[in-house]
Amino acid sequence: MSLKDTSEHANCLAMSDVLNRIGDKWSVMVVGMLSRGTLRFNELKRTINGVSQRMLTLTLRNLERDGLVTRTVYPEIPPRVEYGLTELGKTLTGPINGLWDWSAAHHEAIVEARSVYDARHGEPAEAAQRERRYAGAN
């Protein structure tokens, strides 16, 4: 099935399904870190700033379920568990590295555009950020 025709409902559902997994910030960071090589859980946790143990566990489990990450348990005391990218997961490194590079190259321009927008619309940056963060919450 080709996902190029977005007028097809099934294609939109398939695209949404894939982007929900690989489009969240923790998945992008995990794949980015694992593109450098195999890592243990605590090594990943240390290199990904701000991720909680629970969120990292869920992210790794979901990436493993989708066939993007392998989990290898070594029968040692204490047990050693390593994570790495599968062949399918390795195909994501190009797009993710491109996104990473694009983000680094354009971050200042985006921050400036936000400031201009907030000034034009009379929204203080903090209030606008708070509103976006809790949009839809009652």
Amino acid at the residue 59 = T
Position 126 pLDDT exceeds 70: no
- Between 3 and 76, the more confident residue is 76
| pLDDT at residue 61, as a whole number | 96
- DSSP at 48: S
Percent of the chain with pLDDT over 70: 83
CATH fold group of domain 1-88: Arc Repressor Mutant, subunit A (1.10.10)
Q: Helices H, strands E: what count in the chain?
A: 7, 3
- Across the chain, the runs of DSSP E, i.e. the strands, are 39-40, 69-74, 80-85
Domain boundary assignment for the chain: 1-88, 92-138
Q: Is the dihedral of CA 122, 126, 132, 138 positive or negative?
A: negative
136 pLDDT higher than 50? no
pLDDT tens digits for range 90-106? 999 999 889 889 999 99
pLDDT in tens, 52-66: 999 999 999 999 999
64, 125 in Cβ contact below 8 A? no
